[in-house]
Amino acid sequence: MYIELHARSAFSFLEGASLPEELAALCKELGMPSMAVLDRDGFYGSPRFHLAAQKEGIRAHIGAEVTSESGWRYPLLVTSRGGYQNLCRLITRMKLRAPKGEGAVTPAEVTEHATGLICLTGGDEGPLAHALANGGVECATECIRGLCESFGAENVYIELQRHLCREEEARNQAAIEIARKMHLPLLATNGVCQAQPRQRELLDVFTCIRHHRTLSTAGRLLARNSERHLKSPQEMLRLFSDLPEAIANTKGLASRLKFELSDLGYKFPNYPVPDGKPQIHFLRERTFEGMIGRYGTDNEDARAQIDRELALIEKLELAGYFLIVWDIVQFCKQRNILVQGRGSAANSAVCYALGITAVDPIKMKLLFERFLSENRGEWPDIDLDLPSGDQRERAIQYVYERYGKLGAAMTANVITYRGRSAAREIGKVLSFEPEMLDRLSSLVGGWEFKNEHDTLPQYFQDAGLDLNHQLIRKFLQLCTAVQDLPRHLGQHSGGMVVCQGHLDSVVPLEPAAIPGRVVVQWDKEDCAGMGIVKVDLLGLGMMAVLEESIQLIRNDYQEEVDLAHLPPDDKTVYAALQKADTVGMFQIESRAQMSCLPRLQPKCFYDIVVQVAIIRPGPIVGEMVNPYLKRRQKREAVDCLHPDLEPVLGRTLGIPLFQEQLLRMAMITAGFSGGDAEELRRALGFKRSERRMKEIETKLRLGMEKKGITPGVQEKIIRSITSFALYGFPESHAASFALLAYASAYLKCHYLAAFTAAMLNNQPMGFYNAATLVKDAQRHGLRVRPIDITCSEWLCTLEKAEKEPGGFFLRLGLRYVKGLREEVGKQIAIERAAKPFASIEDLKLRVPRLHKSEMAALAAIGALNFITGRRGMHRREALWQIERTARRPGPLLELSQGGEMSRPQDHSTIGSTQSSAVSPLAPMTTEERLVADFHGTGMTVGPHPMAFRRVEMRQKGIRCAGELGTIPDGSPVRIAGSVIARQRPGTAKGFVFLSMEDETGIANAIITPQLFEQNRATIIHNQFLLVEGILQNLDNVISVKAKSIAPLLITRAETASHDFH
Amino acid sequence: MVFAAIYILDFSVQAAIRVEPSLRDSAVALVDGVPPQVKVVAANGRAFQAGTELGMARNVADQFESVQIRPRSHLHEKAAHAALLDFGWSISPRIEDTAPDTIVIDLAGLSSLFGSQENIARRLLQQIVALGLTAHIAIASNIDAAIHAARGFSGITLIPSGEESKHLGSLPVGVLRPSPETLDTLELWGVRTCEALAALPVLQLSERLGQEGVRLHEWAQGAGARSLVLADPATCFEEGIVLEDSVEELEPLSFLLGRLLDQLCMRLTARSLAISIIRLRFSLDPSGREDVQRRGNSNISARLKKKSSVFETAISLPVPIRDSKLLLKLLRLKLQSDPPQAPIQKIFVAAEPAKPRALQADLFLPSSPHAEKVELIIARLANLVGDSNIGSPHLLDTHHPDAFCMDHFTPAGAEPKAPQRKKPLKSNRPYWGVKPEIEKPALGFRMFRPSLPASVHLQEGLPKSVLIRGTHGKVIGASGPWRTSGDWWREDNWHQDEWDLEIRFQLPSDPLEIHSASRPQHGLYRFHFDSLQRKWFVRGIYD
């Protein structure tokens, strides 16, 4: 019997070529009862290996290779929980004092943490090989003696590896000699770096990436052969036929490795309750306080639900968790940081009462079990949405402060090789030129929809690469093989884990790229798999927009808006939604959402919840959208499939739209338990598998059979459930998002200037770019003023305008000047606040960090036009002046030029001098201004480029977007505009959707796959298009089904589009 | 003073057409890059009209049937430039080498020979066409005005003195070749023509664009006067001859080469220089290649590119030489070992000059042959054994057994600054070393190059007997396999299992004829099994 006790997974980052799951599966296949994965300086792959091993029915031994100060590595195996904790602490200590990706341990530290660990002498990179290379057998004997002193002689094994290499075998003979002399056991391992021999190619590629070499220059850095794969016990027996004890010892050592990751010893911290009360009492008090605020004192339903939830929380000993989340929410509220819980937490009345969530689960009849279930044996998951940026960082830092550096950490995010990164790195290794790499990486990825022509070979053909070339073939193979293998460890955007005691005893910690942060070695899935509770503090752009809008409304409108108390049935909001006038509104602004809104005609909050959930891949692919809309419009009868399902499906008119409904359907019709339903949910989740879906389908059929459901109905139910295999929203999540959607719609409808300013200040976010947001706001009557150095701040601001309908102008901020650095922009605003600038010269003197290129950018967009006063100058005058300012002569020359500039510190005189310098340049033409605006800011606050050509367009029979509603369905039309979005969604079978903007609004064109293929280049590369086709008006959802497409030359301005993939 | 500026449009393409005049009326695109990433880097107007674009991949460009694709050659460009300069010098000793595609000639005194400026221009144009190039020519009394007019206007442009501004006004400012930054500024200003630039006040322009602004302004006006920057005489000496009848035999070729070498050496002697590298370039007659091959003239493989009609070779000399006879001998030996495979139409001999060696022999060092003689011997040996089989061996950084290359042999002291080869990469895998006191006596190993074919009989995966050159041997002891594989990304990847075998041969004689008759007929050999060829070989023997 042989057990592999020294293997690296791909989580040794560029030193292993196989995923832990692959190793576990092969281990099982080869008949080994257990195996050890020792990743470099961490337990990065251990959770996945542990879970995969559990699934395969084998044992996963835990260990790591730890880098020593001398450069070699201790291969360490864990025997007990104490040993695991020691190794975690050792790695954490080493990592936290060194830059990311570096660090080494001292012999003293190793001795200090040696309890519960077994040390092998390693292969090429182990202590024995290092000592032999540096001082021969004598030095090696000394080294082994040192290991015996640190770990105890009974915990040191002399490791032998045989990769059919002469030098290695010579080393083995020396090792055997030392082992015999010191009476130490021999241990055969294969120093595995890959599961299969063929993966050696990938390993060589990783070696090149690690050493910044190419395959042709890496030389002997590459592997000598392909022998470092996981070998069968028979093969290893054959290799070590002369040393049977080395094989036998693997079994003996494996039996000593008692520790498994399921014995992690993780405990969630207790919340420090005042007066030493039990946590659950304190939680009950806070919950009932909150309940009175939310439900009043006489809501029996709420009371009963909260009692039920608290009883379960007490039983599962989760009071501390709820209190800690409540504590974070309290912190945010005290500091006016908007915070809202989302996800399944919104199913909990306790969370609602505590103020963690804003959705009333009782009113919405949400399923509490979806959040917390006694049977599930899983920690609840609460996600908190916070405004992205500084506010979220404040909340994160609060958690660090509260639980200490070693008590809280961010979860990791494993960065894997994906299409573009894989193509780029492998191309480099194969010595492709940078230009070719750019071309390839821009090709790979592409749009979401993949037809039979969208294959990697096709991309290469398009890029002019010869597929018959050996290098290209290898490139293709490697790109495919490397997909999803880990590249390096990043930091998750918001997942935090906290721990009772020291987190560094549970999982090694590392410094994060952001100062002051530490990150655990596992990603959030692994943490969840290991039963570690996490709190997600997620940054949401729309939260930042809402927060900033409220602030602007408070400061400029002198009004207070409380998002928790918005009028629930605002007519203006619903009117806008029904017209699909939703540009900028959270979750309901996309083209697909807009094409659904006029048919759904939302009239109440629950309609928005449905609207948010319905345009998702699940309902779309499951073909549930149209039946739902038809039933809503009373064009189709409501059918709940089975009378028992009426309570579940009734409010969505018999169509399952939410995850909870599917779970309940399974529970009611097939008698699924909570655990079964949870398994179904997982099968429907992100990491879905066909095989699991089939298993569940069989189970569903059996269950329904027992309940006597007829085969026809069975089929319908199965289809409803399985077609949901693509991701759909849970109802609670949709409700949380719907709240934000309503809030954003309310602010847009009633405080357009503030909302637009906040949207512009938080770009990039959402579906549309800033230019489209500005044009939409202008069409709604907002006056947007251009960037002006005399009054623009860094951010967009509001300016009082008594005569304006909304009462405010929007002034574009300096942040929209392309190429202007933020610190310089802010410095301009500060200096101007102290005293207005008198001239360009004055500006340059007072903001000396302003580069010439930045001044030119400001001048080109007209931001300097009024610097010398309201009389103003044209853009080229400013451009003329800045060139001189940027090349100011020295003071001596200035004096010699007649003393005009003799007192440069007297800023007021500078202005007059400069303004008198007359520019010989002609003012910009309209077209030039348009070009400069788009080039310099990505937008124009003047007329839309199409407006300048409207007369000509009319002569060509081109209709504008605003008038399409008046044209009968089925009429042939011509439309034209700047393309603001190109979409080729995976759910649309190759159809392409274009959103084209003109001065009156946005028109949508639908392009068939055939037409797209014929006009691919025209559609992708042209900013302005002319589309001719048939107008479709389906319940006021207007689009043009394209018959022909042609490029249109409207302007040279660089308008931009959002192309979705 | 009157100057003529000559500007060669699409210079790279014209340089290629000059070597291959049949392309003159074709759409031509030049490609460059390392396969498989070859792309279009230049093209003429016809090629652009046909749909070719710069940056287009070679195989895409190949789809345009009317477009002739040729590799870009810097040598051709250099030659074309040299030809342009030669042409200039043939007209006047006062020429300016303005750019690879532009020269300016001082026309002083030419009117008495050729008449009016227009006549001179026509004549220049004709002669340039004869050189295989198409040019734009502008004549003006202002050097820069002539240059800019040549770049901006096609054909012949004559600018009377004082009318420079009027003539240049309509040209885009790009012809003045301002710095990219200044070009951006002018674009922002809306200043797009020379006329617009000339209209700007110069003082204010100088405040903004500095000296470059003043210079551009002056150029835009056609004003300013500067002297011709006389071109330095050539630093690379080249002589060439275009043959009326193609040469196929070495003897007549040697005669011609000798003449060219004499001329070169004379020029170099006049300037007290010698030759450090001698380059030979032949334009070949592609139609004659098959005939030559059919006649089987070549018994040594020539490195002639299949599609190329140019043959090039060079000899790098260990010390600068200007002995034309020695040079001729070296070239003859080179051509004997590596002959062109088609009749020769044009011969170019270029010399890279260097200071001649002035070295006194060291009294305290043993005498050694003159470097020149060593070089001659090496050339003779190379002629016998082939270029790749002579020199100093150098190990390559690879796991491939016995991978080495041959560097040029340079006697010690002959080349004080011989180019240093990069040290081989240090492997990240530590090499197992032992202290001297326990080191066993090292075995000598003699390697067979190439390895000898053998057959090996295996039993349970272990070699039991071998057959080499018809002689059987019994394996007494075996160690292995020692496995290496590599270069898996290339067509010539490899995978070998090596075995160290102790063999007792059954016949009294050693099949490898290594051991003397008096020695026992068994020994320790290294075999290897090539897994891709599925064949066994003997790599060598341990002594």
**Mean pLDDT (whole number) for A143-172:** 95
Closest to B200 (Cβ–Cβ): which among A136, A227, A920? A920
Sole residue written with tokens 């007359």? A918
pLDDT for B118 beyond 50: yes
**Mean pLDDT (whole number) for B318-338:** 84
Sole residue written with tokens 């790109």? A479
Q: How far is A125 from chain B (nearest CA, A)?
A: 7
Decide which of A894 and B231 is more confident: B231
B37 touches chain A (CB under 8 A): yes
Residue of B nearest to A208 (CA): B428
- Residue B345 φ then ψ, to 5°: -100, -40
DSSP string covering B169-219: TTSBGGGG---HHHHHHHHHHT--BHHHHHTS-HHHHHHHHHHHHHHHHHH
* Residues listed for chain B: 543
Residue of B nearest to A474 (CA): B489
pLDDT tens digits for range B23-79: 888 999 999 887 777 889 999 888 988 888 888 888 778 878 888 988 887 767 876
Do A433 and B34 make contact, defined as CB atoms within 8 angstroms?
Answer: yes
**Mean pLDDT (whole number) for B180-204:** 92
Whole-complex ipTM: 0.71
Do B430 and A464 make contact, defined as CB atoms within 8 angstroms?
Answer: no
B364 touches chain A (CB under 8 A): no
The reported pLDDT for the residue numbered B104 is: 93
The reported pLDDT for the residue numbered B286 is: 67
Q: Which long-range contacts (CB under 8 A, 24 or more apart) does A331-335 make?
A: A331/A395, A331/A398, A332/A384, A332/A386, A332/A391, A332/A395, A335/A394
Contacts of residue A2, defined as CB under 8 A and 6 or more positions apart, other chains included, come to A32, A188, A233, A236, A237, A247, A250, A251
Do A464 and B488 make contact, defined as CB atoms within 8 angstroms?
Answer: no
**Mean pLDDT (whole number) for A726-741:** 82
Helix or strand holding residue A718 (H, E) = helix A711-722
pLDDT tens digits for range A29-81: 999 999 999 999 999 999 999 999 999 999 999 999 999 999 999 999 999 99
pLDDT tens digits for range A609-635: 999 988 887 777 777 888 899 998 888
Q: Identify all chain A residues contacting B442, using CB atoms and an 8 Å cutoff.
A: none
pLDDT for A236 beyond 90: yes
Do A472 and B37 make contact, defined as CB atoms within 8 angstroms?
Answer: no
State the average pLDDT for chain A.
Answer: 87
Pairing of strands A117-120, A156-160: parallel
pLDDT for A691 beyond 80: no
B253, B282 Cβ separation under 8 angstroms: no
Residue B507's identity, in one-letter code, is L
pLDDT for A494 beyond 60: yes
**Mean pLDDT (whole number) for A756-774:** 93
3 state SS for A604-659: CHHHHHHHHHHCCHHHHHCCCHHHHHHHHCCCCCCCCCCHHHHHHHHHHCCCCCCH
Q: Could you tell me the pLDDT band of residue A254, with boundaries at 50, 70 and 90?
A: very high
pLDDT tens digits for range A640-688: 888 888 888 888 898 888 887 888 888 888 888 766 777 777 776 645 5
Query: Which residues on neighbouring strands pair with residue B501, listed in sequence order?
Result: B478, B525
Q: Identify all chain B residues contacting A474, using CB atoms and an 8 Å cutoff.
A: 488-489
Of the residues A68, A181, A222, the best mutation for testing chain B's interface (the one with the most B CB atoms within 10 Å of its CB) is A222
**Mean pLDDT (whole number) for B463-472:** 89
Helix or strand holding residue A758 (H, E) = helix A752-761
pLDDT tens digits for range A985-1033: 877 778 899 999 999 999 999 999 899 888 877 888 789 999 999 999 9
**CA dist., res. A447 & res. A193, Å (int):** 35
State whether residue A722 is helix, strand or coil: helix
pLDDT for A974 beyond 90: yes
Decide which of A686 and B309 is more confident: B309
pLDDT for A788 beyond 90: yes
Domains and CATH numbers, chain B: 3-9+74-220 (3.30.70.270), 240-354 (3.30.1490.100), 445-542 (no CATH)
The reported pLDDT for the residue numbered A1025 is: 94
pLDDT for A783 beyond 80: yes
Q: How far is B316 from chain A (nearest CA, A)?
A: 27
Do B201 and A132 make contact, defined as CB atoms within 8 angstroms?
Answer: no
Closest to B489 (Cβ–Cβ): which among A138, A174, A430? A430
State the average pLDDT for chain B.
Answer: 80
DSSP string covering B363-432: TTS-----HHHHHHHHHHHHHHH-GGGSSEEEE-SSSSTT-EEEEPP--TTT-TTPPPPPPPPPPSSPPP
**Mean pLDDT (whole number) for B209-232:** 87
pLDDT for B216 beyond 90: yes
Task: Tokens for A705, please give them.
Answer: 């059979």
**Chain B, window 407-466: residues with a beta carbon less than 8 angstroms from a chain A beta carbon:** 424-425, 427-435, 438
The reported pLDDT for the residue numbered B292 is: 44
Q: Is the peptide bond before B36 cis (omega within 30 degrees of 0)?
A: yes
Decide which of A462 and A868 is more confident: A868
The reported pLDDT for the residue numbered A891 is: 54
Contacts of residue A469, defined as CB under 8 A and 6 or more positions apart, other chains included, come to B35, B36
**Chain B, window 85-114: residues with a beta carbon less than 8 angstroms from a chain A beta carbon:** none
Do A224 and B484 make contact, defined as CB atoms within 8 angstroms?
Answer: yes
pLDDT tens digits for range A369-409: 777 777 666 677 788 999 988 888 889 888 888 888 778 89
**Mean pLDDT (whole number) for B468-495:** 91
Q: Could you tell me the pLDDT band of residue A911, with boundaries at 50, 70 and 90?
A: very low
**CA dist., res. A703 & res. A717, Å (int):** 12
Q: Could you tell me the pLDDT band of residue B309, with boundaries at 50, 70 and 90?
A: confident
B361 touches chain A (CB under 8 A): no
Biggest alpha carbon–alpha carbon distance for chain A: 105
Nearest to A933 by CA among A1042, A1054, A841: A1054
Q: Identify all chain B residues contacting A430, using CB atoms and an 8 Å cutoff.
A: 489
Across A642-656, B236-250, B373-387, the highest mean pLDDT is recorded for: A642-656
**Mean pLDDT (whole number) for B415-433:** 42
Of the residues B432, B439, B445, B483, the best mutation for testing chain A's interface (the one with the most A CB atoms within 10 Å of its CB) is B432
The reported pLDDT for the residue numbered A294 is: 87
Decide which of A492 and A242 is more confident: A242
B510, B476 Cβ separation under 8 angstroms: no
The reported pLDDT for the residue numbered B297 is: 39
Decide which of B57 and B96 is more confident: B96
**Mean pLDDT (whole number) for B509-537:** 76
DSSP string covering A95-149: HHTS-TT---B-HHHHHHT-TTEEEE--STTSHHHHHHHHHHHHHHHHHHHHHHH
Do A883 and B185 make contact, defined as CB atoms within 8 angstroms?
Answer: yes
Closest to B485 (Cβ–Cβ): which among A218, A225, A884? A225
A436 touches chain B (CB under 8 A): yes
Do A466 and B59 make contact, defined as CB atoms within 8 angstroms?
Answer: yes
The reported pLDDT for the residue numbered A209 is: 94
Whole-structure pTM value: 0.71
pLDDT tens digits for range A339-379: 988 877 778 899 999 999 888 888 887 777 777 777 666 67
A884 touches chain B (CB under 8 A): yes
B185 touches chain A (CB under 8 A): yes
* Residues listed for chain A: 1061
Sole residue written with tokens 């961010």? A410
Q: How far is A170 from chain B (nearest CA, A)?
A: 8
Task: Tokens for A316, please give them.
Answer: 């599962």
Residue of A nearest to B460 (CA): A238
